[in-house]
Amino acid sequence: MKDFEKDYPDYTEAMGYEHGDEPPCNLSANRNFYEVMEARVARRGFLMGGLASIATGLIGGGLSGKAALASSTSPLIGFAPVPVSFEDKVVLPEGYTFQVLGAAGAPISGDMPAFRSGANSGDEQEHQVGQHHDGMHFFPIDGSSEDGLLVVNHEYIEPRFLHAEKPGYKGQPIGDSDVVYDADGKRDDDEVRMEIAAHGVSVYRTAKQADGSWAIVADPRNRRITANTPMEIAGPVRGSAHVRTKYSPDGTNTRGTVNNCAHGYTPWNTYLAAEENWAGYFANTTQLDQKPDLPREHARYGVSTNPQGGRYGWHLAKSGADEFVRWDATTRGASATEDYRNEPNSYGWMVEIDPFNPDAAPVKRTHLGRFAHEGVVFAPAVEGAPVVCYSGDDSRFEYIYKFVSDAPYVAGETDGSILDSGTLYVARFNDDGAGEWLALTPGRNGLTPANGFADLADILVNTRLAADHVGATKMDRPEWGTIDPRTGDVYFALTNNSRRTQAQVDAVNPRAENNFGQIVRWNYEGNDHTRSSFGWDLFVIAGTGRSSVAPAGGSLNDDNIFACPDGLWCDENGRLWIQTDMGDIGPDYSGPLKDFGMNGMLIADVETGEIKRFLTGPWGQETTGVVSTPDGRTLFVNFQHPGAHASPEDFAAGNFGSGFPDYDGATVPRSATIVITKADGGMVGS
- Residues of this chain that bind ligand FEO (CB under 6 A): 21-22, 155, 261, 276, 374, 394, 479, 566
Considering only residues 272-331, where is the footprint of Ca ion by CB under 5 A?
Answer: none
Query: Which CB, 354 or 479, lies closer to ligand FEO?
Result: 479
Q: In the complex with ligand FEO, which residue's Cβ is closer, 148 or 264?
A: 264
* Contact mark string toward Ca ion, 202..221, x via CB under 5 A: --------------------
Amino acid at 70: A
Q: Which of 542, 586, 589 is nearest to 566 (CA)?
A: 542
Q: Are 427 and 529 in contact (CB under 8 A)?
A: no
> Whole-number minimum distance, CB 480 to ligand FEO, in Å?
8
Q: What SS3 state is found at 634?
A: coil
The residue type of 99 is Q
List the single partner that 54 binds among Ca ion, ligand FEO, none, CB under 5 to 8 Å by kind: none
The torsion defined by the Cα of 346, 350, 351 and 355, in degrees rounded to 10, comes to 170
Decide whether 258 or 438 has the Cβ nearer to ligand FEO.
Answer: 258
- Residue 566 is a binding residue for Ca ion (CB under 5 A): yes
Q: Are 244 and 357 in contact (CB under 8 A)?
A: no
Asked if residue 348 lies in contact with residue 278, where contact means CB atoms within 8 angstroms, the answer is: yes
Contacted entry of ligand FEO, Ca ion, none for residue 297, CB cut-off 5 to 8 Å set by kind: none
> Smallest distance, Å, CB 22 to ligand FEO?
6
Nearer to Ca ion, 47 or 602 (CB): 602
CB of 19 or CB of 186, closer to Ca ion = 19
Q: Which is nearer to Ca ion, 18 or 383 (CB)?
A: 18
Rounded CA gap, 221 and 236, in Å?
30
Query: What, of ligand FEO, Ca ion, none, does residue 276 touch, CB below 5 to 8 Å by kind?
Result: ligand FEO
Nearer to Ca ion, 284 or 495 (CB): 495
Angle value at C-alpha 467, between 465 and 468, nearest 5 degrees: 60
Rounded Cα–Cα distance for residues 627 and 623 (Å): 13
**Which of left, alpha, beta for 464 (phi over 0: left; psi -120 to 50: alpha)?**
alpha
Residue 458 binding partner per list Ca ion, ligand FEO, none, with a CB distance cut-off of 5 to 8 Å that depends on partner kind: none
Give yes or no for residue 158 binding Ca ion (CB under 5 A). Answer: no
In angstroms, give the least distance from the CB of 580 to ligand FEO. Answer: 11
CA-based nearest residue to 412, from 272, 265, 268, 270? 268
Of 467 and 550, CB closest to ligand FEO: 467
Task: Provide, rounded to whole angstroms, the least separation between the CB of residue 479 and Ca ion.
Answer: 5
Least distance (Å) from Ca ion to the CB of residue 281?
A: 16
Ramachandran quadrant class, 522 (left: phi over 0; alpha: psi -120 to 50; beta: rest):
beta
Q: How far is the CB of 372 from Ca ion (least distance, A)?
A: 10
Nearest approach in angstroms of CB 342 to Ca ion is 28
Q: Shortest distance, CB of residue 494 to ligand FEO, whole angstroms?
A: 11
Binding residues among 575-604 for Ca ion as defined by CB under 5 A: 581
Of 120 and 277, CB closest to Ca ion:
277
In a 10 Å sphere around its CB, with 0-12 CB exposed, 13-18 middle and 19+ buried, how is residue 558 labelled? Answer: exposed
Q: How far apart are CA 95 and CA 89, in angstroms?
A: 17
| DSSP tag of 113 | P
**d(Cα 651, Cα 655) in Å, to the nearest integer?**
5
Of the candidates 366, 344, 370, the residue with the CA atom closest to the CA atom of residue 464: 370
Q: Which does 155 bind (CB under 5 to 8 A by kind): ligand FEO, Ca ion, none?
A: ligand FEO
- Measured CA to CA in angstroms, residue 90 lies from 83, 214, 638, 658, 661 at distances of 12, 18, 11, 12, 9
Position 661, amino acid: P
Count residues near Ca ion (CB under 5 A): 5
Q: Nearer Cβ to ligand FEO, position 330 or 495? A: 495
Regarding 88 and contact with Ca ion (CB under 5 A), the answer is: no
Q: How far is the CB of 664 from ligand FEO (least distance, A)?
A: 29
State in angstroms the smallest separation of the CB of 644 from ligand FEO: 13
* Phi, psi angles (nearest 5°) of residue 613: -80, 125
Find residue 287's DSSP bridge partners: 292
Q: Least Å distance between CB 640 and Ca ion? A: 7
In angstroms, what is the minimal distance from the CB of 280 to ligand FEO? 12
Which window, 33-41, 82-90, 295-303, 558-566, contacts Ca ion (CB under 5 A)? 558-566
Q: Does 393 bind Ca ion (CB under 5 A)?
A: no
Residues 13-42 contacting Ca ion, CB under 5 A: 21-22
Touching Ca ion, residues 234-273 (CB under 5 A): 261
**Residues of span 605-664 touching Ca ion by CB under 5 A:** none
Determine contact, residues 518/495, Cβ cutoff 8 Å: no
> How many angstroms separate the CA atoms of 312 and 563, rounded?
30
For Ca ion, the closer CB: 23 or 535: 23
328 binding partner (options Ca ion, ligand FEO, none; Cβ < 5 to 8 Å by kind): none
DSSP string, 256-307: ----EEEEEE-TTS-EEEEE-S-GGG-B---EETTEE---HHHHTTT-B--T
Question: Which of Ca ion, ligand FEO, none sits in contact with 607, Cβ below 5 to 8 A by type?
Answer: none
Interface residue list for Ca ion (CB under 5 A): 21-22, 261, 566, 581
